[in-house]
Amino acid sequence: MNLNDLNREQRLAAETLEGPLLVLAGAGSGKTRALTYRVANLLEHGVPPWAIMAITFTNKAAKEMRERIEKLAGAGAEDIWVSTFHSGCAKILRRDIEKLGYTRSFTIYDDDDQMSALKEILKKLNIDDKFLPPREIKGKISDAKNKLLGPQDWFSQSERDYRSQLVYDVYQAYEEKLKSSNALDFDDLIVKTLELFAQHPPVLEAYQRKIRYIHVDEYQDTNYAQYMLVRLLAAQSRNLCVVGDDDQSIYGWRGADIRNILDFEKDFPEVKKVFLFVNYRSQAAIVRGAGCVIKNNRQRFDKQIRAARPEEEPIDIRVFQSPADENAAVIREIRDYHGQGIPYHEMAVLFRTNTQARMLLEKMMEYNIPFKMQDAMPNIYQHWVTQDMMAYIQIALGSTARSHYLRIINRPNRYVSRQMLDERQVAFDVLMERYEDKPWMQERLSKFAYDVHMLTQMQPFAAINYIRHGIGYDEFLEKYAEERKLDGQDLLELLDELQDSARNYTTYEEWFGHIEEYTEQLRKQARKQREEKTDGVALATMHHSKGLEYQVVFIVDANETVTPHHKALLDADIEEERRMFYVAMTRAKSRLHIFFLKERYGRPMVMSRFVGEILVDRDAVKPGTHVIHQTYGAGVIKEVTDKAIIIKFDKVRQEKKLDIQFCLANQLLKIQS
């Protein structure tokens, strides 16, 4: 091993062997390289391999780290404890879990096991799984365990309403079922390890004596439970090296707490900090643009990342009238790059949410461009909202299937009893007869029959629009979402996407044929990805792009309400959204394209503030700077606060106080050179 292979900062990290060490590593700065060299250096300095632990988040990362350490250190390195948080805790529990009243042969529930258990409990407690979906409960329980909250503690911190009471009941029953089944779920692996340490201090002390050098990769992604585990293990030796990047903390939604890395010095005041500030991945224009974005966050370490590579091409920022125009441009660019010799797998299209990919996927299928889905791209045609639309149309086309009627007869509510639909095939005249003593119900059913008849005369696009607004499905959906604490906006946007997909089809038959073909193509693609390595353009959400890199990256739909997402309301939420955009930008090595829209689904769209931050560097927005405003004309900046800017315009009598983010997002302000 030769430490001269490292740059000055990487070498400093590798040579700092004693005491707490915080390595702040920017995107593409070689953090894994520094970490593996440090472990190898410990071995060279006589530290036994079993005294060293390296913790990662994925099995793939653990495997890669082990291979790199063994390549550097050679024989003996195989005894180093390299694992994920969860596999490491599972190893500890297999030895000592009997002290908690379990046997060593405990079962670890996977996702399917958890869902089955929760469905069984809901049924036993007589709780409607449509009102309280098992997936939602699973998420709440996982979040509670990541914060080390049992059922009672969680409930005391909840809204303590009827819904919270039901979740508490299910959580309690779920924990009892796990215990009686000698089983743990994934989150329990850490929770029970911490319980073991708390209840049996000699066990903790034994591990503290044995493991004297601890390394944690991607420390910015740790949750509270993981933070407590690491703190306990390192409490005696104080030899804790954490590596991460606060600017890439993007998993707050699943419990990651950025304060763990920002406040590391509070737990370890004697910490030595090393900054890896050279980006070896991306060319200079990309690094500079990403820096212009991320420096607008306040919750971060102040650092300046510089590029090792020279500037090659500026960031390509373009606006398109519609999604169709945007997708056509993406397809055109991909084909051009491939014609220049860039393999498909060196290109990626990144989305904020996975539902955005539908239209581009269809175009890629049309042009026979291979693709790889980095995360599960949901088929909007299989969503329950889509199935409701289809049920209406199927009935309009003559279906008498009870299943179709049950789906939509009370969407919106017509107060039709399920008992009245007791046959496998529904005869509408019989249904009317059953309500002959209730004229008001017959009136509702007559209106239903009229609506269904109207659908028979429409094209698919118009039919969906009629179901939504003429029949009142949108209003039903908003109430449904509110009652169940769902995001109604997401469901309405899915309907927008569905309606848009039907736009170019004149008959239901044509549209259904397209849906069938699209679904089959997705199925084939998923199968192909499982069976073989394919050369395809990567399609991924910003979340799932982390840790990956490509020669060419497209960020699409860079608009307000998309990125930052409409759910991001608090300053902390906006900062995480900005970090996500930063992560997406820094996946690109040579070429970065950022596209945004003027309109979507017939509604005007506004450019993302993050794009505005690239176009107008906030450092240039300072007193004395000459600017041009789209409305007020030329002026000079007089004062800048955190969120506002005061400008004296040449042709306006009074100074104007303007919102900086609004000006950037709407391209209202230009800096005069």
As annotated, the active-site residues are 31-32, 217-218, 248, 587
Query: Could you write out the DSSP letters of every residue in 518-559?
Result: HHHHHHHHHHHHHHS----EEEEEHHHHTT--EEEEEE---B
| H or E element that contains 628 | strand 626-629
The Cα 614–Cα 315 span in angstroms is 9
Q: Which of 443, 380, 381 is nearest to 414 (CA)?
A: 443
Residues 498, 389 contacting (CB under 8 angstroms): yes
CA 326 to the chain's CA centroid: 23
* Neighbour-count burial of 543, counting CB atoms closer than 10 A to its CB (0-12 exposed, 13-18 middle, 19+ buried): buried
The amino acid at 659: D
Residue with tokens 């992604």: 221
Which H or E element spans position 320? strand 316-320
Tokens of 654: 């009074």
Q: Which long-range contacts (CB under 8 A, 24 or more apart) does 37-40 make?
A: 37/1, 37/3, 37/5, 37/6, 37/10, 37/11, 37/13, 37/72, 38/13, 38/14, 38/215, 38/241, 39/69, 39/73, 39/77, 39/80, 39/215, 40/1, 40/69, 40/72, 40/73, 40/77
The answer for residues whose C-beta is within 8 angstroms of residue 123's C-beta and 6 or more apart is 129
Classified as helix, coil or strand, 279 is strand
The CA distance from 442 to 190, in Å, is 59
555: tokens are: 């960020």
Pairing of strands 316-320, 588-597: parallel
Q: What is the Cα–Cα distance from 211 to 228, expressed in whole angstroms?
A: 16
Which of 196, 197, 175, 194 is closest to 184 using CA atoms?
175
> Hey, how many other C-beta atoms are within 10 angstroms of the C-beta on 213?
21
Q: Is 3 helix (H, G, I), strand (E, B) or coil?
A: helix
Q: Are 310 and 282 in contact (CB under 8 A)?
A: no
Main-chain dihedrals φ then ψ at residue 537, nearest 5 degrees: -65, 130
Kindly write down the DSSP assignment for every residue of 204-273, as one continuous string: HHHHHHH--EEEESSGGG--HHHHHHHHHHTTTT--EEEEE-GGG---GGGT--THHHHTHHHH-TT-EE
CB 228 within 8 A of CB 148: yes
